[in-house]
Chain A
Amino acid sequence: MNGGDSFLFDVAPRHDTRAPARWHGHGRYGAWGYLLPAVLLVSLVLLAPLGATVVASVTGPDGVSAYGEVLTDRDVWLALRHNAVWLALALVVCGLGFGLAWLARDAGPRTRALLLAVPALPAVTSPLTAGMAFRLIFDANPSRGVVSALVPGDVLFLGPGWIWLVLGLAFAWQWTGLACLVFHVALAGMPADLMRVARVFGAGRLRRLRVVVFPALFPTAALVLLLVLTAAVRVFDLVLIGAPGSMHAQVDVAGLFWWRHRDDLGEGRASALAILLSTMAVAVATLVLGRLRRDWPEAGGPPRDRPAPAPGLARRARTAAAAVVAVVWTFPFATLLLTSFRSPDAAATSGWWTGGYGLGSYGEAFEDGAFAGALGATAQRALLVAVLVVLLAVPAAYALTPGQLPLRTRRVVAGVAVVLAVLPPQVLARPLGEALGTLLGGTVILSFVHTALVLPLGVLLLRNAFRSVPRPVVLRPLAEGRSAMIRMTLESGPAVLAVAVLAFVLAWNDLVVGLLLNWPAADQAPLVVLQQARHFSTSAGALAVQAVVLTAVPVLLTLATGRWLRRGLTQGVRG
């Protein structure tokens, strides 16, 4: 009962956070009941296939030496090394996000909104769209690609070497904004007094950063790192569409290599490679887990209105920098939008600055009906996933609140959730495909796979929201022996909405699961787009249309729910 007696001298009323002495209704088993549906689904769709892959990796013709065989393969090494490069890039992206957040810190409200909202939007688009936009921008043909038209000399951006720059920029474009947003929330919540004290005691700028800012940012940094590093380990669609076919071998990553060569490798070695890739992801997750004391940063109350800095050179420079950032981050979207409004022939043969505008590409993109059909199926799936994730994650997260499952169990479950949240789908694909063989191709069955993949992250986020529900709100139903789940859910409305939106967006943007498990229907929208991208430049108009439509849905959804999303993701409870 630590600190229990110190209440004696407290003036402010404090709530007893301990569980009520008398505990009516469901006990420990009841709490397990809440967790059960999620556990069942996750066991069936994630754990069992994961186990099957582990078994397959050591029972192949090579036995355990399958791992050695895979690791001594020159191409596999190269692919794994490339994954390491992506991880390093993820760190750079986090640093960049921190820089932007620092820039936005003292900016005026309008500048700040610009700096936060615009760069964060690419995070909800699919990597496929990002790859497409950057391939259009960096097209080697100077009459089509804006960079090739502006850069003098003969630099071929999609060629050997330079292709890394294009892919890296696309990745940075996607994730820097999200990192910036999360860091910004953390910086806003940092105790200002601490900084003042440090300054008074004569700590220099760097020392203040090291001693005050970084320690205060650790939980947040861990979260950003986890998100961006996971994206880096899972890089797939970006390379698939961003690089011309001849470059694929040079920019291969483990996930892609597995997809391309799983039949050549045989089941044992393919499974071993999938396990290695997963181990990499899990290692990354556990590295940051140590720092992940809180699952999502808590903002220090409503955004405080900082005194606007005196108008001066610094402020004007800051505003100008913000404007530049906003323009740069809007550019890929603008390129897609402008290209989509050009006639197919114009888009195939010239750049957007040369005119040729019309709606012809929209006609062509929907001409054969495949894309329109896929949009319908994808929307159905994404909605179903959003509903299922909420239905399963709410009780599971409730079971993980204090007073339900024992602390140790809660910690174990949370740890498992973190590990499962970063699993690459490649490690599940083969056993899942075999088990679901006759059911695949339907809209519903894939939704359960998506649900299981998103569920761990959803549970982690909701658990945090539930934990920060003020205790008095739920004490009454608990004391009366009723479940406080409904009450908590209502209190955490924004967080539940945020999880639903997250699930929808992830299922909507998915390419990998669709590619591995969606045959023969192949009706996942990004998959249809990928198929049309075989002749990239001459399909540019129609592809841009499809990218715009694919992007518009999550972007509009995010903008429409933005206010609640921000609260849901950063505060967890009603303000």
Chain B
Amino acid sequence: MDRRSALGLLSGLAVAGVAGCGGEPPLRIAVVWSGWELSRFHEVLDQRGAVVYSAGDNIAALLVNPVAPAATPDMAIVPRPGLVTDDEISSRLLTVQSKDPPAWRDLLRARSDGLVKGVWFKVAHKSLVWYRPGAVPGPPADWEAWVGMCEGRLCRPLRLSVAAADGWVLTDWFENVLVGLDRETYRTLHADPANWSRPAVREALTLLARLWSIEGLMPGGGRRALITQFHDAILDVFLYGRADMVAAPDFAWPIIARYAPGRAAAWFTFPGPRGRAAPPVVAGGDAVVALTPGGHEGMKRLMAEGGGDEGVRRLERWAGRGGFLSLDQRVEGYPPALRGLALRMRGDFEFDLSDRLTGRLAGGAGRGLWRVLTDLFAAAALDGQRPDDAAGRAVAALVALAEETATS
């Protein structure tokens, strides 16, 4: 049945007192997922009478604008902490008790009053490089060693699959390189647009352009990589065997397990520059927020608060399939390939920069940082521009976007 009419019908029934003596209205939950992830969420949710609707990219609009009372969700799951801390939105959210590690909790504090407005439902490790164990001699010690492996200086040249059709994949590349070069700059970029002109940004872009311009690096060349989507890049490595490795977050695992069952898969963490401390993890995540007291209750049940084993087991249904890392230490049963990752998420990390950008820099197909990096990729991998020149152009574009963001 149609979600809206289901919603109307259910509330109608509740009002008429037909729904049972309790007459409790259904819990309305807005999520960003669709397809496989949405099905996993239904398994985890297990709350009778809950109405889940997939708001997709509109979830921001849903929280920003006051909408019809019937359409206001009781709780929502949002991928961008910036939405939670935004003044206008955070005033509409209930303050919650959070058991998340302090660094994670602080990401969800309202900018105005400093109160915690959300809890992390699941988090993602975005600093992984997946490979076929037979094809890659072993994890590289640092970035330079990795580039050497790709150029074939020490062994046969390794082939790398890059899903350049999806802008967010390229931003993950950029973030991982930048956070290793200059963590301080990385931290300030989302808040201070002036810092986009710092040398570390240019250096990171140059390193990327240099790697991407290696001849024969990508299966089918840069042209094919430019129209290769995230899932296809994983299939290139683990199903077709056209490439040896792919930089992809932990949620690559369900794809590998589904389409290449039985294929051995291993990962190493994104290598940092030579002679420096290992870079922190670049992390993403989806936070759950409550807009009504009912939603607050639902949120507690969803997050297995109050110590029930039953609740933890429910979360493990998704955790066991992959693509779900919890900050809750009680959650276990991850697939063998992902063991230990959840623990790392509680350690040293930086949150995904592109998910925190606003204005003209904010991502989306064909715009913002996504587009600049797509252009950089095309310049380096397709047009054969010199890495320095390509990076210089990318910096100019980023600075221009940052200026427009600052003035608007």
Contact = CB atoms under 8 A, between A and B. Distances in A.
Interface of A: 140-141, 143, 154, 156, 158-160, 244-249, 252, 256, 260-261, 264, 266, 345, 348-349, 364, 367-370, 372-374, 376-377, 380, 437-443, 519-523, 528, 531-532, 534-539, 542
Contacts of A523: 2-4, 53
Contact of A370 (B34, B67, B164, B360): B34
A260 B67 contact: no
A532 B360 contact: no
B224 A260 contact: no
Contacts of A154: 220-221, 223-224
A442 B68 contact: yes
| Chain B interface mostly | helix
Interface in B39-66: 39, 42, 53-59, 61-62, 65-66
Contacts of B230: 535
Most buried by B among A156, A439, A443: A156
Given A260-B366, A264-B408, A441-B67, A159 B224 contact: yes
A443 B4 CA distance: 8
Contact of B67 (A367, A368, A437, A536): A437
A542 B1 contact: no
Nearest to A367: B39
B223 A542 contact: no
Interface string B350-370: 000000000110001111001
B229 interface: yes
Interface of B: 1-6, 30, 34-35, 38-39, 42, 53-59, 61-62, 65-68, 70-71, 73, 164-167, 220-221, 223-224, 226-232, 235, 239-240, 255, 258-259, 359-360, 364-367, 370-371, 374-375, 377-378, 382, 404, 408
Contact of B56 (A248, A531, A537): A531
A209 to B, nearest CB: 43
A441 B58 contact: no
Contacts of B366: 245, 248-249, 252, 256, 260
A218 to B, nearest CB: 40
Contacts of B71: 440-442, 520-521
A252 B352 CA distance: 27
B239 A246 contact: no
A522 B371 CA distance: 26
A519 B55 contact: yes
B248 to A, nearest CB: 13
Contacts of A539: 35
Most buried by B among A261, A522, A536: A522
B232 to A, nearest CB: 6
B208 to A, nearest CB: 15
Given A244-B227, A249-B375, A535-B35, 20 more contacts: A140-B224, A140-B227, A141-B232, A245-B229, A245-B365, A246-B164, A246-B365, A249-B371, A252-B366, A256-B366, A368-B42, A374-B3, A439-B68, A440-B68, A441-B4, A520-B30, A520-B71, A522-B56, A523-B3, A535-B229
A13 B38 CA distance: 72
B45 to A, nearest CB: 12
A444 B2 CA distance: 13
B75 to A, nearest CB: 13
A531 B57 CA distance: 8
Contacts of A246: 164-167, 226-227, 365, 374, 377-378
Contacts of B165: 244-247
A538 B255 contact: yes
Contacts of B231: 348, 535, 537-538
B220 to A, nearest CB: 7
A379 to B, nearest CB: 9
B384 to A, nearest CB: 14
Nearest to A379: B2
Given A159-B224, A249-B366, A370-B53, A520 B67 contact: yes
B136 to A, nearest CB: 23
24 contacts: A154-B221, A154-B223, A156-B227, A160-B223, A245-B167, A245-B370, A248-B365, A249-B371, A249-B374, A349-B239, A370-B3, A373-B6, A440-B68, A443-B2, A520-B53, A520-B59, A520-B62, A522-B53, A522-B55, A522-B58, A532-B35, A536-B229, A537-B231, A538-B255
A521 B232 contact: no
A150 to B, nearest CB: 17
Contacts of A535: 35, 229-231
Contacts of A141: 232
Contacts of A376: 1-2, 5
* Shortest beta-carbon contacts, A-B, top 6: A248-B366, A245-B365, A519-B58, A441-B71, A376-B2, A520-B62
Contacts of A348: 231, 235, 259
A159 B227 contact: yes
A120 to B, nearest CB: 31
Given A246-B164, A377-B4, A520-B73, A370 B61 contact: no
B143 to A, nearest CB: 24
A156 B223 contact: yes
Contacts of B374: 245-246, 249
A537 B367 CA distance: 23
